[in-house]
Amino acid sequence: MVSPTSKETTPAVIPTQVLHTATPRETAAGIPELAPGEWMSLPVVPAMSSQAVELFQEGIALGNNPQAFSKVGDGEVATSWFLTMFDLDPSQYDLGPHGYLEPVIETYAGSFEHVGVAARAGFSTTLILDPFLASNDVCEVEESPLECELRRHQPSFAFISLGTNQVWTPDVFAAELRQMVEICIERGVVPILATKGDNLEGDHSINAIIADVAREYEIPLWNFWLALQPLPNQGLQADGEHLTWAVSDFDDPEAMTHAWPVRNLTALQVLHELMTELELD
């Protein structure tokens, strides 16, 4: 990641017209599907469904740690710029007006800096499900990186952020993302699916898939894409793929015009919402 070259600070405007004309269809499970484009207006920070609460409770009964989460995904998850500073010296960040998030940092201490075997630059759903990509040192035979991470870290939640590396294979992405979600559910881990910031595929189809899967399984959707829309160039560098960088100083208006502080802030807010609804604070 390189530091942003643009000094532009005038925020863009969040699109106000989102498609809502289509009538939601019913899935086989009786859950309404999202209308085309409806995912764009879903909140950045999700609420916990009753099914997700039950899944969390089942995970605790299985031995999962209520104060642990895992990071699952590609380079935007594996990088040291994603959440790790909250396990470091407090001088590495500034919560500013968001002091209410301090209990989140205390509750999940140890998970912010943790990068397990299911997060790596270049990862895709295919690679995360491939046992050949698991570490021979810590993973069991025939265990995928995802299965290995969930067994070893025993999280209650898993941030899953993928899709940029699979913009040309949406059908494969959709099928394998569902497989990943089902693996998490089998282990009592609540998956938190994140929409991506870029639109390399040109029609937002990957984010639509992510939102559809979250709706289908009634699991939290962190609509990170929406949080980026007010930022200059929607928080993207000139390549239209990588996020603009700044330190996680939530009290600095200029820093908050870049994507990485917004990513870290909204991730903390997602954890705060889960803590609140599950009465973990």
Query: Which 3-state string (H, E, C) describes 182-210?
Result: HHHHHCCCEEEEECCCCCCCCCCHHHHHH
In this structure, what token pair is assigned to residue 95? 């919560």
* Side chain identity, residue 255: A
Quote the CA–CA distance of 154 and 111 in Å, as a whole number. Answer: 11
Q: Which of 122, 121, 120, 155 is nearest to 134 (CA)?
A: 120
In this structure, what token pair is assigned to residue 181? 């979600």
Average pLDDT, 10 consecutive residues per value, the chain (281 residues): 34 30 41 88 96 97 98 96 95 96 98 97 97 92 97 98 97 98 98 98 98 98 98 98 98 98 98 93 63
How confident is the model at residue 89, as a pLDDT? 87
Give the number of C-alpha atoms closer than 13 A to the C-alpha of residue 234, restricted to the C-beta side: 14
Q: Are 148 and 138 in contact (CB under 8 A)?
A: yes
Quote the CA–CA distance of 152 and 272 in Å, as a whole number. Answer: 24
How confident is the model at residue 157, as a pLDDT? 98
How confident is the model at residue 56, as a pLDDT? 98
Give me the CATH code for the 45-278 domain, please: 3.40.50.1110
How confident is the model at residue 30, as a pLDDT? 65
Q: CA 83: distance to chain centroid?
A: 11
Quote the CA–CA distance of 234 and 197 in Å, as a whole number. Answer: 8
Q: Which of 75, 172, 60 is nearest to 120 (CA)?
A: 75
pLDDT in tens, 81-135: 999 999 998 999 999 999 999 999 999 999 999 999 999 999 999 999 999 999 8
Locate the domains of the chain by residue range.
45-278
Q: Which of 229, 276, 238, 277 is nearest to 257 (CA)?
A: 229
